[in-house]
Amino acid sequence: MNTDLQIDAGGKLQHLLTIEGLPPELLLRILDTARSFVSVAEREVKKVPLLRGKAIFNLFFEPSTRTRTTFEIAAKRLSADVVNLNIATSSQTKGETLLDTVANLTAMHADMFIVRHGESGAAHLIARNVGPHIHVINAGDGRHAHPTQALLDMFTIRHYKGGFNGLRVAIVGDILHSRVARSEIHALTTLGVPEVRVIGPRTLLPRQVQNLGVHVFHDMESGLKDVDVVIMLRLQHERMNGALLPSAGEFFKSYGLTPEKLARAKPDAIVMHPGPMNRGVEIDSAVADGRQSVILPQVTFGIAVRMAVMGILAGN
Amino acid sequence: MNIQIRNGRLVDPATDHEHTQDLFIADGRIAAVGVAPPAYKADRVLNASGLVVSLGLVDLSARLREPGLEYKATLESEMEAAVAGGVTSLVCPPDTDPPLDEPGLVEMLKFRARSLDQARVYPLGALTQGLKGERLTEMAELHDAGCVAFGQPGATMTDNQVLMRSMEYATTFGFAVWLRPQDATLSHGGVAHDGEVATRLGLAGIPVCAETVALSAILILARETGARLHLCRLSSAEGVEMVREAKRAGMAITSDVSAHHVHFSDRDIGYFDSNCNLIPPLRDIRDRDALRMGLIDGTIDAICSDHTPVDDDAKQLPFAEAEPGATGLELLLPLTLKWGREVGVSLAAALARVTTHPLRVLGLPVPSIAPGEIADLCVFDPEAWWRIEPGVLHSQGKNTPMLGMELQGRVRYTLVGGSIVFDTPS
């Protein structure tokens, strides 16, 4: 069902909803295309005419600044017309259903929807209910998937590590609630990373997560040993004090990335974070701003990767 | 009206007998089998060559959505669905709006159902007022109004003291208590079985222990109070094992499973198919297999449809926001036959799970296909394949994971009290 929905009969990418089930060649093609777009930002005129005349709707049912902005910049650099809809504060509160909202925007001749929604599966639902000329990009659905974030992380890893073979990658923190972690796990295993680890307390690891092809660790000392890449996840405020965790302080003590803990990784290991960071909760400022951090380049690459995805979806 | 059912294959779970003979019906009852009674003149002859004649199906859980939820389905549409599915008696759970917690509501439902003159409706009374799990209902009054037992849907009984007292009170009058085991706190926020599929899809999980923790409390309290207990909608291998142990230890309990849970698992959710959003959640294949085995060895007594018609708008939502439930009245027979074929039990044994066993759960007399018995019958073609599509279902609910698939076994005639209430030109 997934592959049918994402890839059309001719083998072309129709929607980008999840990394799961996509062939490695396609992921590499997106990364290769993104590489060619990195230079666009360095030109004096930061625009290419690839999507001129196309209408792209940023459909954000959940607040976001960074992801929405990078999608907007990416679309504008491709010369598309971008409409931002912050639906969290408009039609949904007036009782309009998700599919009615989508139908209305379709009537405005949208070519592409970039969707963020608080519920897992929302992007799939929309993709199943739009006409064949409309492309859907999942910009994060509940705890399920955030494929462009995973792709930009893969781009970053490839940029700094030259490839994926032979790497050890650790994803640290709240795996249970993280759509980023799920998409990264699929991307890393698809691209042939031989060892993907997840590190976190048992309350923040989903059931049978090892079946996704990862090694499970509950402590940073053994989990970070000899890794090439450390991906830190954001810990949401509402999860810090309750039945999942006693306090942000205790979480930082056990799982916060400090220079001492990072020393367990390989000397040339890179540190990534999808943002926004909680300094002093999951990451120490000395690491976030340190020489191994590639957190800001991630953001820059994110624009190129999103340009690549939009370009490929639009058939160029 | 005298009805002759000619040349049908009479399959009788009560006696495990099977023979091809004519059946003669008069005055609402079976008048004779094989040879017509003296001076018998049929007003109508049903040709049942190649068809099976069975006792009518008895469904232990079918939501008719009245009162209160008529936009999802009406009594008319769902009673039609019942007889189209060969169901001649059904239990209507109390989770209507308002819940069946007052005699007036029950009497109205019985009256409305009776006036439609189709399947027999047995309301299940609410165990607590408003199904809130706080105060007892007037069970004796509700019983007089027509309630056959008293129940509480899962995850709404959070107070074990109330649970214990409701069992004690019901037992005072000899009423059975029907409970679906699901702990409210352990299942809080969950929408799918807490396993690999929920992990992959990022859906909040309902762990198996939500069922087993509730089950152990219910079993201990039932033993303590001597309550007549019926356990509804088992979902897990561990749950089945606990019921097996309790029965082995001599507890007088019965249990059921929904037809969808006998055939589907969480893998069928695929990418967020909200038709697979059910209560209890579809669990993994090991659990599904344990439910199938539990039916064979008698740990689970009956298969019910757990019929829950949901309107399209409530299903066309992200998985967690979609309303749980599946339409089932018209699928109960073919899904039961499918189970029987797949596990290799006789046709009579398969039919027993939807006819004689549920009658026993209800404490009602168990008829056989014999002279003098009330003619509640289902005549079906066991070989006919049909594709499950919205257009072929009489129910207003078109929501089932079976959509687009084919099933074998289709009802041709349904008789209630000797009257033909469903009839297809074959």
pLDDT at A89 over 70: no
- By Cβ distance, the residue of A17, A97, A182 closest to B313 is A97
Q: Is B376 annotated in the active site?
A: no
Cβ pair A124:B320 closer than 8 A: no
The CA-to-CA distance between both ends of chain A, in Å, stands at: 25
Of A20, A99, A120, Cβ closest to residue B319: A120
Q: Taking CB atoms and an 8 Å cut-off, how many pairs form between chains A and B? A: 78
- Taking the alpha carbons of B166, B169, B172, B175 in that order, is the dihedral positive or negative? negative
Query: What rounded mean pLDDT belongs to chain A?
Result: 93
Tokens read off for A155: 């781009």
Distance, CA of A207 to CA of B208 (rounded, Å): 12
For B271, nearest residue in chain A (alpha carbons): A2
What is the share, in percent, of chain A residues with pLDDT greater than 90?
A: 80
DSSP 8-state secondary structure symbol assigned to residue A271: E
Count of CA atoms in the C-beta half-sphere (13 A) of B123: 32
Question: Which run of H or of E encompasses B140?
Answer: helix B139-145
The whole-model pTM stands at 0.94
* Region A5-22 average pLDDT: 94
Residue B396 Cα, gap to closest chain A Cα (Å): 21
Are residues B320 and A119, on separate chains, in Cβ contact within 8 Å?
Answer: yes
Q: Is B27 on the interface with A (CB under 8 A)?
A: no
**Least confident piece of the model among A54-68, A182-196, B315-329:** A54-68
**For residue A90, what pLDDT is reported?**
57
Contact between B271 and A5 using a beta-carbon 8 Å cutoff: yes
In this prediction, residues B28-45 reach a mean pLDDT of 96
At residue B259, the pLDDT reads 98
> What's the confidence (pLDDT) of residue A91?
53
**pLDDT tens, B238-289?**
999 999 999 999 999 999 999 999 999 999 999 999 999 999 999 999 999 9
User: What confidence tens digit (pLDDT) does each residue in A100-151 have?
Assistant: 889 988 888 899 999 999 999 999 999 999 999 999 999 999 999 999 999 9
pLDDT tens digits, B176-192: 999 999 999 999 999 99
Name the minimum distance, in Å, from the CA of A67 to any CA of chain B. 20
Instruction: Report the b/e string of A90-101 with b at 16+ CB within 10 A.
Output: ebeeeeeebbeb
Closest CA to A294 of A276, A264, A274, A313: A274
Three-class SS state of B406: strand
State which H helix or E strand residue B262 sits in: helix B259-263
Cα–Cα separations (whole angstroms), residue A48 to A29, A44, A83, A111, B370: 19, 12, 19, 18, 84
Whether chain A has a CB inside 8 Å of the CB on B383: the answer is no
Task: Write the secondary structure of B275-321 as one string of H (helix), E (strand) and C (coil).
Answer: HHCCCCCCCCHHHHHHHHHHHHCCCCCEEECCECCCCHHHHCCCHHH
Residues A206, B199: C-beta atoms closer than 8 Å = yes
Contact with chain A for residue B285, Cβ under 8 A:
no
Q: In the prediction, which pLDDT does A286 show?
A: 97
Catalytic pick from B306, B312, B376, B381?
B306
Residue from B197, B199, B323 to probe the interface with A (highest A Cβ count within 10 Å): B199
**pLDDT category of residue A1 using cuts at 50, 70 and 90:** very low
Task: Quote the pLDDT of residue A210.
Answer: 97
Collapsed DSSP state (helix, strand, coil) of residue B66: coil
Q: Do B201 and A5 touch (CB under 8 A)?
A: no
Nearest to A222 by CA among A204, A197, A253, A245: A197
Q: Does the beta carbon of A119 lie under 8 angstroms from any beta carbon of chain B?
A: yes
Q: Determine the pLDDT at residue B118.
A: 93
Q: What is the pLDDT of residue A2?
A: 44
* A161 interfaces chain B, CB cutoff of 8 Å: no
Tell me, yes or no, if A20 comes closer than 8 A to chain B by beta carbon: yes
Got the DSSP string for A53-82?
T-EEEEEESS--SHHHHHHHHHHHHTT-EE
Question: Number of C-alpha atoms within 13 angstroms, CB side, residue A228?
Answer: 19
Q: How confident is the model at residue A237 (pLDDT cuts 50, 70, 90)?
A: confident
